[in-house]
Amino acid sequence: MIKILIVDDEKPICDLIDLNLSAAGYHTMAVQDGIAAIDLIEKEDFDLVLLDVMLPGADGYDVMEYIRPLGVPVIFITAKHEVRDRVKGLKLGADDYLVKPFDVVELVARVEAVLRRYHKAERVLTAGDVQVDVEARRVTRAGKPVVLTNKEFGLLVLFMENKNVALFRETLYEKVWEDEYFADSRTLDLHVQRLRKKLGWEQNLVAVYKVGYRLEVSE
CA proximity to 15, closest of 38, 39, 32, 36: 32
Q: What percent of the chain has pLDDT over 90?
A: 47
Could you state, in order of their start, the residue ranges of all structural domains in the chain? 3-117, 124-215
Mean per-residue pLDDT of the chain: 87
Coil, strand or helix at 116: helix
Instruction: Tell whether the model's pLDDT for residue 70 goes beyond 90.
Output: no
Cα distance between the two ends of the chain? 18
User: Length of the chain in residues, anyone?
Assistant: 219
pLDDT at residue 100, as a whole number: 84
Distance CA 180, CA 83 (A): 29
Q: Indicate the range of 9-13, 65-69, 76-80 predicted with least confidence.
A: 76-80
SS3 content of the chain, % helix, strand, coil (to 5): 40, 20, 35
Contact 52, 78 (CB under 8 A): yes
128's torsion region: left (phi>0), alpha (psi -120 to 50) or beta?
left
Pairing mode, if any, of strands 74-78 and 48-51?
parallel
pLDDT at residue 117, as a whole number: 83
Which band of pLDDT confidence, cut at 50, 70 and 90, is reported for residue 174? confident
The CATH class of the 3-117 domain is: alpha beta
Taking domain 124-215, whether its CATH number is 1.10.357.10 is answered by no
Pairing mode, if any, of strands 3-7 and 96-99?
unpaired
Tens-digit pLDDT profile for residues 27-59: 899 999 999 999 999 899 899 999 998 899 998
Query: What are the phi and psi torsion angles at 7 (to 5°)?
Result: -125, 105
pLDDT at residue 181, as a whole number: 65
Could you give the angle at which helices 11-23 and 150-161 cross, rounded to 10 degrees?
Answer: 140
